[in-house]
Amino acid sequence: MPRLPAASLLSAVALAVTALAAPSSHAQVVDVGLNVPWAGDTPASTGSPWVNARFLDLGFTAGTDFDGVKNWVELQITTTQNDVPPALTPAEIAAAGFPLPQYQNLTEVVGLGNLTGGEYVNTIWFNFNPALDITKLEVFNPGFPNAGAGITAATIGTDIHPVGDSGLYDISISFAGANRLGPAFTEYTKLVFRYDGGNTNIDPSDFLFFSTPQDDDGVGPFVATASVFRTGPSGVGFIASNVPEPSTWALVALGLVGTGLALRRRTGA
């Protein structure tokens, strides 16, 4: 089934531009907050989002020792509001090859989630730019230096993950057992996406695509969705990323031309 038409793609662009306008400590930071319950019970916390997925472009890590790393996209998934400060000092980070002062907190994990108690993410699903070759995409725990919860399963492929009625997804990442992702277990995970062995650049915007609808009556589509479980009496359900509010379109007008040209270049490549 084909991807959504241009109007839905522009909604994804709106999400990207809104997020990119906010943080300043990193280059190209995109937060995808999962705050829409669409099946099962709603997580207990009234805080929003319940789970946050932060995509960071590592393109600024240029240098002879980081020719591959500079093309990666980092993904931080957080379930609480707790920040995880860098394990390295600014001097150690500079010695490792990140000398720019504005990136001295490069390795910090910024907590933006709001799960409570024994709630935890079992699986989270994302999408990928259909203009790129998804068979060249990899995801793994980098272990530098705050890896958090480890991946227990990850599968990637175009529209291979049907998730309830919310659509077909390209990327599935699961956490189980000792690697459960939640406040009572490990609060966060830090992953990286690498494309073409790190030889070709990817950006956070390559993950801001809506799921392919399965039928005309399903919920969604969503940029991302996750299954949230609870230890003890009962499970929870499914939560998803929200679509931009109408007020974000003013921000889109500022960046739409450049973003559109970039997408046209990718599509024509």
The string of pLDDT tens digits covering residues 224-259 is 999 999 887 667 899 999 654 333 333 333 333 333
**Domain assignment present for 1:** no
Give residue 59's domain range. Answer: 6-268
Mean pLDDT (whole number) for 136-145: 84
Q: What is the mean pLDDT of the chain?
A: 77
> Is residue 190 within 8 Å of 202, Cβ to Cβ?
no
Residues near 26 by beta carbon (within 8 Å), at least 6 away in sequence = 56, 57, 103, 106
Of 21-30, 51-60, 126-135, the least confident: 21-30
* Other C-beta atoms lying within 10 Å of the C-beta of residue 207: 25
> Is residue 224 within 8 Å of 38, Cβ to Cβ?
no
Looking at residue 250, what DSSP letter applies? Answer: H
Model pTM above 0.75: yes
SS3 178: helix
Residues near 91 by beta carbon (within 8 Å), at least 6 away in sequence = none
Predicted confidence (pLDDT) per residue in 68-97, tens digit: 677 889 999 999 999 988 766 767 766 766
Instruction: Say how many domains are in the chain.
Output: 1
- Cα torsion 197, 198, 202, 206: sign: positive
C-alpha span between 51 and 188 (Å, rounded): 10
Mean pLDDT (whole number) for 29-44: 92
Q: Kind and range of the H or E element at 13?
A: helix 6-20
C-alpha span between 238 and 226 (Å, rounded): 6
- Confidence grade of residue 11 (pLDDT, cut at 50, 70, 90): very low
- Confidence grade of residue 141 (pLDDT, cut at 50, 70, 90): confident
Predicted confidence (pLDDT) per residue in 184-224, tens digit: 999 999 999 999 998 899 999 999 999 999 877 778 889 99
Residue 24 has pLDDT above 80, yes or no: no
The whole-angstrom distance between residue 191's C-alpha and the CA centroid of its chain comes to 9
Residue 12 has pLDDT above 50, yes or no: no
Nearest C-alpha neighbor of 140 from the set 202, 72, 193: 193
Give the model's pLDDT for residue 108: 82
C-alpha span between 207 and 205 (Å, rounded): 5
